[in-house]
Amino acid sequence: MNRVLCTSVIAFFGLYQTFAQTDPSVEKGGRVVHNSDRLTTTVWTEGRRPLLEAIQLVNQEYGWTVNYEEAPTVNASEIVDDDSAFRMSHPGYSDGYFPNAHGFPFTFDDSADKESVLNGLVSKYNNSSNPGKYALQRTAQGDYVLVGISYKSQQGSNSNFESPLNCKISLSLPAMGVRDALQRVVLQIKNTCHTSLDGEYAGEGPNISPAEPVSGNFDNESARDVLADLLSQGRYLMWYSVEYVPVSNKFYLETWLGLKTIVGINGNRVRDRIQNPKRQKANEKQ
pLDDT above 70 covers what percent of the chain? 82
pLDDT the model gives residue 95 = 81
Count of CB atoms situated within 10 Å of the CB of 190: 16
> Which tens digits make up the pLDDT trace of 236-275?
888 988 888 898 888 887 888 888 888 877 778 888 888 8
The predicted-structure confidence for 188-235, as pLDDT tens digits, reads as follows 988 898 876 555 543 344 445 556 789 999 999 999 999 999 989 988
Q: What angle do CA 156, 161, 253 make, to 5 degrees?
A: 115
How many helices (H) and strands (E) would you count in the chain?
Answer: 7, 17
pLDDT at 192 (0 to 100): 92
Is 60 exceeded by the pLDDT of residue 22?
no
CB 120 within 8 A of CB 106: yes
Task: Please tell me which residue, 286 or 240, carries the higher pLDDT value.
Answer: 240
> Is the pLDDT confidence value at 11 over 60?
no
For residue 68, give Cα distances in angstroms to 42, 178, 252.
Answer: 20, 20, 11
